[in-house]
Each structure stands twice: as C-alpha cells, then as structure tokens.
Homo-oligomer: A and B are copies of this chain.
C-alpha cells in the first residue's frame, strides 16, 4: 500500500482533483493526500510538502494553463519547479497540465482534461509497481488527453 498525493488548483475550470480522486479509488486501495493551491505556479512547493510532511510516494500535479503566451511561461516555470522537486526527492510527480487553447469548446476542454487526468492516474499506479511495469508499452506512441499515435515499426 502506497500513498498518492494529489494537488490541484482553484484556477482550473475543471475539478481535476475530483476526477483523479475517483479514478485512484476505482483502481486501487492506495491512501490519498489532497492539497489545493491557487494556481499552477503553487504546485511545486505543495508537492514538496506532500513528500516531506505527508510521506507521499508519488504525486499527481494537476493544473490548467490559460491560452496566452504569458500562460505558457507560467506552465513552463511550474514544470521547472516540479523537475527540481522530483530530482531532490527521487520520486515521480506526474504532471497533468491542460492548456486552454488545446480545445475549441468547453465540452472538449472538459474531455481532454478528464482523459489526461485519468490516464495519468493509471500511469502513476503502474510506476508504483516498479521501474519496468510500463516497459510493455515502451515506444507505443501512447498519448494522454487524446488518441494514442501508435508504434512505428520497420517492415522486414
């Protein structure tokens, strides 16, 4: 039994934390710690706190970024912080970021967000099993938030 941290934001227009929570419960018996922060740039330190103070084994960092160039800069800054936390802790953070310009309608935005969040919950559960648990899918062009692109193999 492991402990999964889930951090989400009040900025997001979709309740990504609720989606992740219910997917974890549907697929595992792992313990869950939730943390909600204002926006995407507040995620890294929350992950750090989930590892250090709440003994999480892996964290899902759930964020939505606005459609403008400055929003891409924010998600970039957050990602760099998430890299720093992962490396210093030696533990995975699965970054589930949705950019609002990925979708043309609110419905599509919701669907991308739900699909990406749920698939990364499954990835997190696999990573908890061991470093070769995902090797069966290596190089298969898997995508989160949209359809898989598949593997390219050379004909003999």
Residue numbers in B under 8 Å from A45 (CB-CB): 83, 86-87, 90-93
Contact (Cβ within 8 A) B72 A72: no
Number of residues of chain A lying within 8 A (CB) of chain B? 77
Residue numbers in B under 8 Å from A141 (CB-CB): 11-13
Residue numbers in B under 8 Å from A70 (CB-CB): 72, 99
Residue numbers in B under 8 Å from A79 (CB-CB): 41, 74, 77
A122 to chain B, nearest CB (A): 10
A156 within 8 A of B: no
Within 8 A of B (CB), among A55-93: 70, 72-74, 76-81, 83-88, 90-93
A72 to B73, CA, bound (A): 9
Question: Which of chain B's residues has its CB closest to A74's CB?
Answer: B79
Contact (Cβ within 8 A) A18 B138: yes
Contact (Cβ within 8 A) A10 B134: yes
Question: Which of chain B's residues has its CB closest to A9's CB?
Answer: B138
A127 within 8 A of B: yes
Contact (Cβ within 8 A) A36 B138: yes
Residue numbers in B under 8 Å from A144 (CB-CB): 38
A16 within 8 A of B: yes
Assuming A11-B142, A13-B140, A81-B83, what are 12 further A-B pairs, CB within 8 angstroms? A10-B137, A10-B140, A10-B142, A35-B132, A37-B92, A38-B94, A45-B86, A49-B90, A49-B131, A50-B131, A77-B79, A78-B83
